[in-house]
Chains A and B, each alone.
Chain A
Amino acid sequence: MEPSDLIASLERAVAASPDDLALRTHLAGLLLDAGRAAEAVPHAAEVLRRDPTSATARDLMARALAPSTPAPEPAPEPPPESGFDWDRAAADLGVPPPFVTSDDDGRVRAEAAPGPGRFGVEAAGLTLADVGGMEEVKKRLNAAFLAPLRHEALRTAYRKSLRGGLLLYGPPGCGKTYLARALAGELGARFLTVTIADILDSFIGRSEQNVHEIFETARANAPCVLFLDEVDAIGLKRSKSHQDWMRTTLNQLLVELSGVAEANDGVFVLAATNQPWDVDPALRRPGRLDRTVLVMPPDQPAREAIWRLHLQDRPIGGIDVARLAARSDGLTGADIAHACETAAERALMDSVETGEVRLISQHDLEGALTEIRPSVGPWMETARNVALFANGDGSWDELAAQLRTRRRR
């Protein structure tokens, strides 16, 4: 059998069994032997990502990235003036595009479902299984929302109504929107995200009309999760709102939320906010956003998942994700993403300076971590004040308990 035939059949085998690391390692070796270093890199990187201790994969990666490795396609372009060939380096590393959208990574992007209105409805494309860690939050979501929906017989027996919505709150960058999307996926429902920009209109009366249209769109696309992002901007406390449109829009939102119960059949209202204390109390009354779930910065398993997610398409070697997760306690998903960016920048600049392309290492990532300050600091400060001074009615008991737990850690 010709080496190219063997490689082709091995590629098919790897595609059929992507988790078979031995097969993938073997394929990477054959590709290297055949002078196809650029194609070998992603396979070696994948093996290293799943098994950072694999010495064979590390050797293969080093060989693949060695400057002497012949380019797969002779490209007789003149070397750049800086002495560093960026294009070549990118090709060697099999560098993925800098930003990966949900379309790019193969996730389902729903087409707009039929129905009235100008608001885009999409399929969720995620489930709670896609959310790493955060078991406590998932448990709360299940008890507050999913279990009553799934077990109709029990629900009927307990006369549990399906009215009301769920408010996710917590510091920014902790995955509230992601969780909402995953919840929609769990329900097999379509997903309609609404922000203040979708509602606000300069013309008098149009903002209220937009709120009505949004609910009509959701009803026409039932089952549908209607997700009100940054709900404090839409439903700011009336005592704090200076604009007339804010009050009238909030009134319309209250009407739509608690109007005729049957009208909202199949419409599940979720909302998220970083400033729950600014949300008008009327929105949190029974039948509206009457259940709350606190989403704090990710726990250890969630952080591991986030690290993996942000490192998966980068050239890495010898990464101890568990150690990184332990060292990034208190950081949000956004902070971790920033740390990955910083580490990638270090490795890249190092490659530029030395002229030798190298992998992103544990050292780069830990170095980046030392430069990152948790972005939740100001939020925590306000949350502590709220939990201490504004918890007269027990609204923030869960928050207070969480803050106590974090203080003890």
Chain B
Amino acid sequence: MTGPEDPALIEAMLDTGRVERAGEMLAAALAQQPGSPRLLQLLARQRLLADDAAGALDAADALVSAAPGEPVAHQLRAIALGVLDRHEEAFAAAVESVRLDPLDASTHRSVARAALGARGRLQDGWAAACRAIELEPAEPDSHFLLGVVAESQQQRAVALEAYRRTLALDPEHAAALNNLTLLEDGGLARVALGMTQTLALDPDSEYARRNLDGVLERFCWRVAGAGFLGLVLAADAVDAASEDPTATGTSRLLALVVLAAALIGAAVFRHTLEPVARTYLARRVRRPGRLLALVVLAVGLVLTTGVVGVSPGPGVLVMGVLGPVLGLLAVGLAVWTAVERGRR
């Protein structure tokens, strides 16, 4: 049995996601042993898990003061600095951890991680990940980091292999599955499948959910693209009909074909999706974010306008009024998408 201030119990709380309770226990334990390196180490971890990088850095700094020879102190410092976007300092802290214990694979992983954010350090990151693999070949995270570094250096083949190795060592490595799926890029349905598999491993994975949303966005853009093509052809048909009302126009026929293809493509895409992805994406369409709502609206308008446009009669009016509106909407959406992507 153990008391509430026992570091092992606090660590167990952190390992099992009880971050808040671990924080309370740490406060009590640190009140009794304020300079305990073990407790400071746990505090830095706890602060990181609580999304308080500044607090984690304070704890890591205190830990470095209390135990300057402990590599883990510098590793935690590197992580906190990285989260705070102080990448150069993070890289230096990670290098310091390697200096203290060059035979510990985790210190090299720390360097590889820090190198991802630091400017011009990718080659160092690559070397560190390789060294970590050399020291601890069965550790999935070393392979994963190599994959991420390789991907950053446009080394697709190496990255693919590294992710596959990660998953061979740890089939439940959600981040590796996420990255591998995106890198393989086997079409939207395949990406959707990979993301649902990632989410099955880690249902709270924000990245996988965003990527799944991205699948829907990309699909909508494709349909919208086809719709615009149909629209242009329909406009041509309307123009031809205004000069000669008896003209049937090949443009009108082509527009119909393009619009039908877009609709059929949508149906096929839906069919190829896994039921889970279908349910999720249907839910997203029903409750979209602002960007997705506009994309869906744009697709709907384009298709509707296209269909109405190719039909004789109200085509001229529809094309005359909605055409400029759609053009403005498309420009707005493109700008918004760029801004949103940048923000992410």
Do A and B pair up? The answer is yes
A residues at B contact (CB < 8 Å): 118, 196-202, 210, 230, 232-233, 236, 239-243, 245-246, 275, 277-278, 381-382, 385-386, 388-390, 392
14 more contacts with CB within 8 A, not counting A197-B9, A202-B7, A246-B12, are A118-B1, A200-B6, A200-B12, A201-B2, A240-B15, A278-B17, A385-B204, A388-B276, A388-B279, A389-B196, A389-B199, A389-B200, A390-B199, A390-B201
| Residues of B contacting A381 in the complex (Cβ-Cβ under 8 angstroms) | 204
Question: Please, how many angstroms separate the alpha-carbon atoms of A199 and B4 in the complex?
Answer: 12
Chain B, residue nearest A273 (CB): B16
B8 with A202: CB separation less than 8 A: yes
B269 to chain A, nearest CB (A): 20
**A198, A199, A201, A385: which has the most chain B beta carbons within 10 Å?**
A385
**For residue B198, which residue of chain A has the nearest CB?**
A389
Contact A382 B203 (CB under 8 A): yes
Q: Is the CB of A198 within 8 A of B1?
A: yes
B18 cross-chain contacts in A, Cβ below 8 A: 233
Asked if B88 is an interface residue, CB under 8 A from chain A, the answer is: no
Asked if B172 is at the interface of the complex by the 8 Å CB criterion, the answer is yes
Closest Cβ of chain A to B105, distance in Å, is 15
CB distance A246 to B1 under 8 Å?
Answer: no
Contact check, A388 vs B15: say whether CB atoms are below 8 A apart. no
Are A233 and B13 neighbours in the complex by a CB distance under 8 Å? yes
Residues of B within 8 A of A278 (CB): 16-17
B258 CB to closest chain A CB (Å) equals: 35
C-alpha spacing A400/B201, complex, angstroms: 17
B interface, size bucket: 20 to 34
Contacts of A239 on B, CB cut-off 8 Å?
170, 172
Contact of B4 with A385 in the complex, beta carbons under 8 Å? no
Note all chain A residues with C-beta closer than 8 A to B3.
197
In the complex, what residue of chain A is closest to B2 when comparing beta carbons? A200
In the complex, chain A residues whose CB is within 8 Å of the CB of B219: none
CA A242 – CA B201 in complex, angstroms? 17
Contact of A202 with B6 in the complex, beta carbons under 8 Å: yes
A241 touches B2 (CB 8 A): no
A selection of 25 A-B contacts at a CB cut-off of 8 Å is: A196-B13, A199-B1, A200-B1, A200-B9, A201-B2, A230-B16, A233-B18, A236-B15, A236-B16, A239-B172, A240-B15, A241-B15, A242-B15, A243-B11, A243-B15, A246-B15, A277-B203, A385-B199, A388-B199, A388-B276, A389-B199, A389-B203, A389-B280, A390-B201, A392-B200
What 6 A-B pairs are tightest by C-beta distance, nearest first? Answer: A385-B203, A389-B199, A233-B16, A386-B203, A390-B200, A200-B2
In the complex, which residue of chain A has the Cβ closest to the Cβ of B7? A202
| Binary interface encoding of chain B residues 204-244 relative to chain A, with 1 for a CB under 8 A from any of its CBs, else 0 | 10000000000000000000000000000000000000000
- The CA of A392 and the CA of B274, in the complex, are separated in Å by 11
Q: Which residue of A lies closest to B16 (CB)?
A: A233
A243 to B13, CA, bound (A): 12
Docked pose: A275 CA to B17 CA in angstroms = 9
Q: Quick one: which of B6, B8, B15, B16 has the most chain A CB within 10 A?
A: B16
Compute how far the CA of A85 lies from the CA of B81 in the bound complex, rounded to whole angstroms. 54
Bound Cα distance A198, B2 (Å): 6
A72 to B328 CA separation, bound complex (whole angstroms): 82
Interface string of B262-292 (1 = CB under 8 A from A): 0000000000000010011000000000000
Task: Point out the residue from A118, A198, A210, A382 that lies within 8 Å of B204, measured CB to CB.
Answer: A382
Q: Cβ of B16 and Cβ of A197 under 8 Å apart?
A: no
Q: Which residues of B contact A241 (CB under 8 A)?
A: 15
Chain A residues near B199 (CB, 8 Å)?
A: 385, 388-390
The answer to whether B2 and A202 touch across the interface, beta carbons within 8 angstroms, is yes
Contact residue among A118, A196, A390, A392 (Cβ-Cβ distance under 8 Å from B12): A196
B171, closest chain A residue (CB) = A239
In the complex the two chains form, is A390's CB within 8 Å of B16's CB? no
